[in-house]
Structure 1
Amino acid sequence: MSTTQVSTERLEAITSSILQPTAANGVQGRTAPFEEVIGGLTALITSHRAPGTEVLRFPPVMSRALLEKSGYLKSFPHLLGCVSSLTGTEASIRALVEGRAAGQDWVDGLAATDLVLTPAACYQVYPIIAARGDVPRSGVLVDVESYCFRREASSELGRMQAFRMREYVCIGAPDTALAFRENWKARAEELATQLGVPFTLVPASDPFFGRAGKLMAVNQVEQALKFELLIPVNSEEAPTACMSFNYHQDHFGNTWGLRTDDGAVAHTACAAFGLDRLTIALFATHGLDVDAWPPSVREALCI
């Protein structure tokens, strides 16, 4: 039996104990032990919040118009989830749901609303900050969290379609945003060491759509715009990205008209934490009995 098979069987046993499967792939219920560790991770990440950081928490939906303007639709249409609702008269809707509409399934009556499922926590931050006016060159910091959705094709254990994302976002001068990203790369290694998980920090790219997306991914790696902290959850050969550190350059600055107080286009960066993936990684590394985890890890998580 291969190492990958062994780790897969072990992970199946772990995830079945801390997550409750549902009828949909990548959609699981969270158990009390899982939520206890999530709470510890949340507190640990909060302890690294810089003074003066604004805190924002969002529901799992956002404006469709804002998402379209952000560029997400063009870059990641294959991952997007839209909120739809039944439209029509009372009689036509009733006929659909009761199965009386000739040749129609009830889903045929759905129409897109003005909402989409949030794909990344930080997307709602940029227009909010832009609406307030210029930002200092020294930067504006935001701590943001949201449930997010991505229509992932993979049924890989631990990969969720609906998941919690925590982010720290920096908006300011180019050197400010880049320094923020570099600082968080170093902090992330310290965090992973505290958590007692094996990891590597590597250049990475986003899963852009289509043939043109492959070139965008190459450019992203060549320009060192994205780094991921990988933890071997499923296997050593294919470790899981549990944190990412992104420098967006002036993309969101130009998109939303973000300016620094000297009139220049603002640059942005973010440090993102996949809370559910990190929690699974902790159980995969240290086992199901939280009381038996290394004391240093329990102390870091206050559990």
Structure 2
Amino acid sequence: MNRLTGVDGSPALALLGPDETALVRELDRIFTGWGVAAGAREISVPPLYPVADLEKFDVYTNFPQLALVSGPLELTNGTGKPLDGRFGSADLQDARYGLPHATCYGAYLYYEGSHVDQDTLVTLVNRCFRNEERYGGLRRLASFQMREIVALGSFEHTQEVIARFGARIQEFAEAISLPLDKVAAIDPFFQDDGARALLQRLSPVKHEFQHGDLAIASVNTHRNFFGERCDIRLASEEHAYTSCVAFGLERWLTVLTDLHDGDLVAALDLVRAADHQAP
């Protein structure tokens, strides 16, 4: 079983029990394995970044409603103790760290200012944070785990990666009898005043894999946006293109829990069997 906690009774954060943790770990192992088998190397990234780093990606322009930030306590005139379960603005110094709402940012910051091969592939997992209007158990959390497989290099490479893993997601879902629909997402990714935003409206850059109305995975193409913002280049000195494949681990957990009427052992056995049968 899991337990939920949050502010003012909102079920924004999940504490997973042993069975839930085992299933999440297995799902993450499988998704990581897909990336490694395709040539990805794993990197480790921090759970928060300087605001100045996230600002490079227009996070606070395109997604201000989701943003959560962090700063130290102001102790000059205060005691450092919360009142009624919260700190007021006067109790805090400037918030110079931001909590990311997507895992892939770490990959672009890792390669910032460097050259990459045209077929670079990495995988990473991180805690993501989103200030949602409402929360709903494992379906929508303030903090959750996201595994990503990130492609950097030529445009052809980035498109081949999302095509390959998009098909892999659907094959895996069929193997575990999990109905999924591939749906074009309408999230505003690029600033609304440029050529990339126009291209996004004409040709969606994000597709979600939804079970019912819940997206549990997505494939995303960013063209050379992150390559330019982080000055990541190919040997030709052209800015690298990027794409990513993302898996919301708690969301996979909740749909599998529902699918198996709460029998997490059966869900784990089926997931493992499907992975062993995969080519």
Unaligned runs of at least 5 residues, structure 2: none
**1:117 paired to 2:99:** yes
Equivalent residue number for residue 214 of structure 2: 240
SS at match of 2:255: helix
Question: Which is higher, the Rg of structure 1 or of structure 2?
Answer: 1
Equivalent residue number for residue 227 of structure 1: 207
Unaligned runs of at least 5 residues, structure 1: 1-17, 100-104, 233-238
CA distance 1:217–1:78, shift in 2 (3 Å):
farther
Equivalent residue number for residue 93 of structure 1: 78
CA distance in 1, matches of 2:49, 2:64: 16
CA distance 1:295–1:161, shift in 2 (3 Å):
closer
CA distance 1:56–1:294, shift in 2 (3 Å):
closer
Give the percent of matched residue pairs that are identical in Structure 1 and Structure 2: 27
Cα contact 2:172–2:274 (8 A) shared by 1: no
What is the deviation of 1:84? 2.0
TM-score (normalised: structure 1): 0.80
Equivalent residue number for residue 177 of structure 2: 196
The total of aligned residue pairs comes to 267
CA distance 1:207–1:33, shift in 2 (3 Å):
farther
SS at match of 1:253: helix
CA distance in 1, matches of 2:265, 2:49: 39
**1:183 paired to 2:161:** no
CA distance 1:144–1:294, shift in 2 (3 Å):
closer
What is the deviation of 1:165? 0.5
What is the deviation of 1:208? 6.2
SS at match of 1:121: coil
CA distance in 2, matches of 1:195, 1:63: 40
What is the deviation of 1:218? 8.1
Equivalent residue number for residue 90 of structure 2: 108
SS at match of 2:43: strand
CA distance 1:142–1:68, shift in 2 (3 Å):
same
Cα contact 2:135–2:142 (8 A) shared by 1: no
SS at match of 2:262: coil
User: Of residues 255, 258, 267 in structure 2, which corresponds to 1:281?
Assistant: 255
- The one-letter code sitting in structure 1 at the alignment partner of 2:5 is T
Equivalent residue number for residue 10 of structure 1: none
CA distance in 1, matches of 2:116, 2:6: 46
CA distance in 2, matches of 1:78, 1:109: 23
CA distance in 1, matches of 2:82, 2:186: 46
- The ranges of structure 1 where at least 4 consecutive aligned residues each deviate by more than 3 angstroms after the TM superposition are 96-99, 207-210, 216-219, 291-298
Comparing both structures, which one devotes a greater share of its residues to helix?
A: 1
Equivalent residue number for residue 15 of structure 2: 29
CA distance in 1, matches of 2:268, 2:249: 20
Equivalent residue number for residue 44 of structure 1: 30
- The one-letter code sitting in structure 2 at the alignment partner of 1:262 is S
CA distance in 1, matches of 2:135, 2:125: 25
SS at match of 1:112: coil
**1:146 paired to 2:133:** no
SS at match of 2:220: strand
What is the deviation of 1:219? 5.2
What is the deviation of 1:221? 5.1
CA distance in 2, matches of 1:128, 1:295: 36
